[in-house]
Amino acid sequence: MLHFEGLRKKIIKNYFTIIIITVALFEGLFIFYIQNYYYDYVRQSLKGQVDYTNAVYNTITQEGSSFEIKVKNIIDKENVGAKSKYAIQIIDKNKNIILDSYGFKVKEKADFEDVERALNDTKELTPHTYRMASTKEHVMSISVPLKTNNIIEGAVRYTVSLDKIDNTIFKLTLGLILAGICILLIAISLSLRFAETLIQPLRELKQFANELAHGNYSIKLKNTNISDDEIGDLAQTFEHMAAEIDKSEKLKEEFISSISHELRTPLTSIKGWSETLAYEGITQDELDLGLGIIQDETERLIKLVTELLDFSRLSSDRIKLQIDMVDIKTLVVSVVNQLKVKSAEKNISLSFEFEDEAIENIQGDKNRLRQVLINLVQNAIKFTSEGGYVKLVASQGEEFTTIKVIDDGCGIETENLDKVLDKFFQEDYNKAGSGLGLAISHEIVKLHGGNMILQSQKDIGTTITITIKNKLIESI
């Protein structure tokens, strides 16, 4: 069973953490705003009362009236009674409470910060918030100095209870917290769903990879579980990789089978004729025939081993060209002459043609280019029936030299044209060969700055066109 608990845990943890931080910040800011909104309303109300009190007191012109009478008139004019939301206290300059909103002389000390600021005639009068020691009531108060002829005689103090406001803020806060909890529960549900949408495809990918590890390259992904995103792209890459591995495995098996046959056949011939030649009384004709077969089969083995070595070097980028000046005309003629005997054995016409009279020497590796042409011509001869023809046509442009190998042989199936240049590919595995010749030739042509193009029709013939860059090194 596959386990992705760690991944699910990480996704939920990260997603949940983001939601918690977001909700906490939002609720914190909202609560801060609500609290400030209500408290600021009370502050503004108290400051408005201060302005009103100053205006009323400044209009009192009762000469000879005592301080108590004056402040009583303030209370009467402000019409504060039992229904008022403000509690008013009149305080003398010694901080004694001499009168409150109910008219009682309390005879208590008003030792508060706002009273201290008022009696000291502080210019900036701000409300003071605190909790009463006796009742634990949360209140906000502000004190205003009472002056006559710029002499402070006392202060008037306004106090408002904040308990109802705090209760309202608490209810709002509780509602926000409950809403936040609901949001978090929804977030957990969504994160689980989100985690599952990621984990399910990954489960399938892991199962797919396990199947690949056990050699099951024909397995297919369940597309219903794969979404159209980066995971879907990864799944398609896995599936493509499996198909390519499967194809490579089949090619490898076919190559091993083919190469085993290619090695066994000449070795069997060499072993058989070497034993035959050891018998006494063998005739000269038999001796010549046996030695010829051994020589041919040895050359065949050497060619096969050379192809395998070249393939190994090409795969590891270890082939280095020996750049020199190459006479294309001489190269084409020599290859045709070298393979004349082989073509004559099958009654195949082998010829060459130069489309341009003046073909200049090019830069390249003469031995490697010869290897390419020999391989292409030998392939053409091998797949051309008796009485057919193979023709080399060479031409030259300003930048590239072109050589075509044309035959009227069996041709190549259309669906195999893109595979012919692949390593180990053989259209007919019953034919002799390693399936490396064209692939190696193509790589050598590319090292010369060129390309190889195949055109073929089944049972009509094949044309292989190679283009080679005229100059590889400017200074040579």
Into how many domains does the chain fold?
A: 3
CATH number at residue 430: 3.30.565.10
127: in domain: yes
390: in domain: yes
- CA 90 to chain CA mean position, Å: 75
Residues 12 and 132 in one domain: yes
Residues 349 and 425 in one domain: yes
Q: Residue 64 pLDDT > 60, yes or no?
A: no
More reliable by pLDDT, 81 or 37? 37
Residues 347 and 399 in one domain: yes
209: in domain: no
- Over residues 110-165, the pLDDT tens digits come to 888 888 888 888 777 888 888 887 778 888 998 888 877 777 888 888 888 888 88
- Residue 396 is predicted with a pLDDT of 92
> What angle do the packed helices 67-78 and 5-58 form, to 10 degrees?
120
Q: Residue 351 pLDDT > 90, yes or no?
A: yes
Residues 56 and 143 in one domain: yes
- Over residues 190-219, the pLDDT tens digits come to 777 777 777 777 777 777 778 777 777 676
Among the candidates 291, 315, 339, a domain finishes at: 315
Residues 332 and 306 in one domain: no
CATH number at residue 34: 3.30.450.20
Question: CA separation (Å) from 184 to 22, 29, 81, 199?
Answer: 10, 18, 49, 22
pTM of the model: 0.46
CATH number at residue 256: 1.10.287.130
- Per-residue pLDDT band for 82 (boundaries 50, 70, 90) equals very low
Among the candidates 259, 289, 315, a domain finishes at: 315
- Residue 196 is predicted with a pLDDT of 72
177: in domain: no
- Residue 429 is predicted with a pLDDT of 47
Q: Residue 17 pLDDT > 90, yes or no?
A: no
58: in domain: yes
357: in domain: yes
Residues 133 and 84 in one domain: yes
- Per-residue pLDDT band for 101 (boundaries 50, 70, 90) equals low
Residues 349 and 421 in one domain: yes
- Per-residue pLDDT band for 67 (boundaries 50, 70, 90) equals low
Residues 427 and 310 in one domain: no
- Residue 391 is predicted with a pLDDT of 94
Residues 126 and 44 in one domain: yes
> Best-predicted range by mean pLDDT among 100-114, 324-338, 438-452?
324-338
- Over residues 298-320, the pLDDT tens digits come to 887 887 777 777 666 666 566 67
Half-sphere exposure of residue 182, counting CA atoms within 13 Å on the CB side? 6
- Over residues 356-382, the pLDDT tens digits come to 888 899 999 898 899 889 889 988 998
Residues 366 and 293 in one domain: no
> Best-predicted range by mean pLDDT among 2-6, 257-261, 458-462?
458-462
Tell me the average pLDDT across 310-334: 79
Half-sphere exposure of residue 321, counting CA atoms within 13 Å on the CB side? 21
Structural domain including 157 reads 5-167
Helix (H) or strand (E) holding 311: helix 284-315
218: in domain: no
Residues 307 and 417 in one domain: no
The two three-digit tokens of residue 80, written as one number? 């504060």
Type of residue at 472: L
- Residue 16 is predicted with a pLDDT of 75
Among the candidates 284, 315, 346, a domain finishes at: 315
Residues 404 and 264 in one domain: no
HEC string for 128-197: EEEECCCCCCEEEEEEEEEEECCEEEEEEEEEEECHHHHHHHHHHHHHHHHHHHHHHHHHHHHHHHHHHH
- Residue 414 is predicted with a pLDDT of 74
131: in domain: yes
Three-class SS state of 76: helix
